[in-house]
Amino acid sequence: MPRLAVHTALVLLINTLIAAFLTAIGVGGDFAGNLIVSHCIGFAIYIPCITVIRLAPNRTVLLAGIALSVILGSAFGALAGLTLSGHGPEQWSSQAGLQALLIGLMFGVGVSYRFYARERMAKLENELRVRELRRMESEKAQVETQLRMLQAQIEPHFLFNTLANLSALIRTDAATAERMLADLIRYLRATLQRTREAESTLGDEMELLRNYLDILGLRLGGRLRWTFDVPEELLARRFPLMLLQPLVENAVTHGIEPKVGGGEVRIAARQEGGRLHLGVSDTGVGLGGANGGSGFGLDNVRSRLRALYGEAASLDVRENSGGGVTAAIELPA
């Protein structure tokens, strides 16, 4: 409706200018008579033109419809205008009436082209929006596929290691093996449930990490300790599922496990300045030049961050001054 109102106002303005122009050059009658004729011609052209522009199925029909609308609209509008202004059909044969009709046709063509160009531009903009939406949907599908592939690379790695530990424990410690199997079932059930949901939260991630550390804790016994420092108000925030698990696995495998006395893993989160800061730190043996902040798990996390957030997220791996390593992630909050 706003666009139709603007178009109607523009037609009224152009019709009035035509009437003023005809009156100024002495064509037709007085200004009032010329205004009536001008409005009749203008709207007789505009109404069928705008209808054709909106309904034409292709360019050929559109151009033919506009040409026909201009010709018939000018003839009908001139006849109606002359009749309403108190003149008869005999004005068609007069020089003044012919000039008025020719000028009406000229302006009619110009106005029709203007509306055609505007409607065409609107259609092109709509097509561009549709294409952009399709492109974004395609990119989203590609990102989701990539994320599933990256996540699928983690699960078998962890699963095979746990099954290998179970195989060894069954022969040496059946009770611990039974507890580990129960923890593994609980972990896999929770993981499958989360992956089927459209969204995941930071609270979901913390729950999975607790199950994950329970399984590792059975293998390492008292050598592995862990703490969580995550404010309650952050748990409901949306968060990519299993993003932190590779960092926790690195901390245990490369930090705690090689250390004779074991150590502690700390998972922390805080929000500051519109950014969500997450850290996985350990008190293990440190980087020691083993991977220098690179490796399969870290590459996986970086790939997921890049796919999800582009340049708006970062992962920094650094050695702690008192020993151990901290992997810090920053995300838009």
- pLDDT for 47-71, tens place per residue? 887 787 778 787 788 778 877 877 7
How would you list the strands of the sheet with 263-272, edge to edge? 224-229, 263-272, 275-282, 325-332, 314-319
Confidence tier at 36 by pLDDT (50, 70, 90): confident
Q: Tell me: pLDDT of 263 over 70.
A: yes
More confident residue, 245 or 229: 229
Confidence check: pLDDT of 156 > 80 = no
pLDDT exceeds cutoff 60 at 22:
yes
From residue 273, how far is each of 134, 316, 326, 333 by CA, in Å?
34, 18, 21, 9
- Does 127 score more than 70 pLDDT? yes
* Burial bucket for residue 170 (CB in 10 Å: 0-12, 13-18, 19+): middle
* Cβ-contact 116, 53 below 8 angstroms: yes
Q: Of the candidates 107, 109, 101, which has an alpha carbon nearest to the alpha carbon of residue 76? A: 101
Query: pLDDT (tens digit, 9 = 90+) per residue, 304-317?
Result: 888 888 889 999 99
Lowest mean pLDDT among 34-38, 226-230, 240-244: 34-38
Q: What is the mean predicted confidence (pLDDT) over 208-236? A: 89
* pTM exceeding the 0.75 threshold for the entire prediction: no
Q: What is the mean pLDDT of residues 248-260?
A: 89
pLDDT at residue 212, rounded to an integer: 87
Is the model's pLDDT at 152 over the cut of 60? no
Indicate if the pLDDT at residue 181 is higher than 70: yes
Confidence of residue 157 (pLDDT cuts 50, 70, 90): low
Task: Give 177-181 contacts, CB < 8 A, sequence gap 24+.
Answer: 179/218, 180/215, 180/218, 180/219
| Domain boundaries defined on the chain | 2-131, 173-332
Is the pLDDT reported for residue 227 higher than 90? yes
- Cβ pair 27, 92 in contact under 8 A: no
Q: How far are the Cα atoms of 45, 46, 113, 141 from residue 121, in angstroms, in the given order?
A: 20, 18, 12, 30
> What pLDDT, on the 0 to 100 scale, is given for residue 256?
92
What are all long-range contacts of 192-199, with beta carbons under 8 Å and residues at least 24 apart? 194/241, 195/151, 195/241, 199/238
**H or E element that contains 124:** helix 95-172
Task: Report the amino acid identity of residue 242.
Answer: M
Q: Are 265 and 252 in contact (CB under 8 A)?
A: yes
pLDDT at 16 over 90: no
- Does residue 238 carry a pLDDT above 80? yes
| H/E element, 270 | strand 263-272
Per-chain mean pLDDT for the chain: 79
By C-alpha distance, which of 111, 136, 135, 42 is closest to 80? 42
- Position 289 scores a pLDDT of 46
Mean pLDDT on 273-287 = 91
CATH number of 173-332: 3.30.565.10
Backbone dihedral angles phi then psi of residue 266, each to the nearest 5 degrees? -120, 125
- Calculate mean pLDDT across residues 131-152: 70
* 44-48, 57-61, 101-105, 114-118: least confidently modelled range: 101-105
pLDDT at residue 101 in the model: 63
CA atoms within 13 A on the CB side of 5: 2
**Are 210 and 227 in contact, with CB atoms under 8 Å apart?**
no
Pairing of strands 263-272, 224-229: parallel
More confident residue, 118 or 64: 64
Q: Is the pLDDT of residue 267 over 80?
A: yes
* The most confident of 6-20, 66-80, 123-137, by mean pLDDT: 123-137
- According to DSSP, the residues that pair with 316 across neighbouring strands are 328
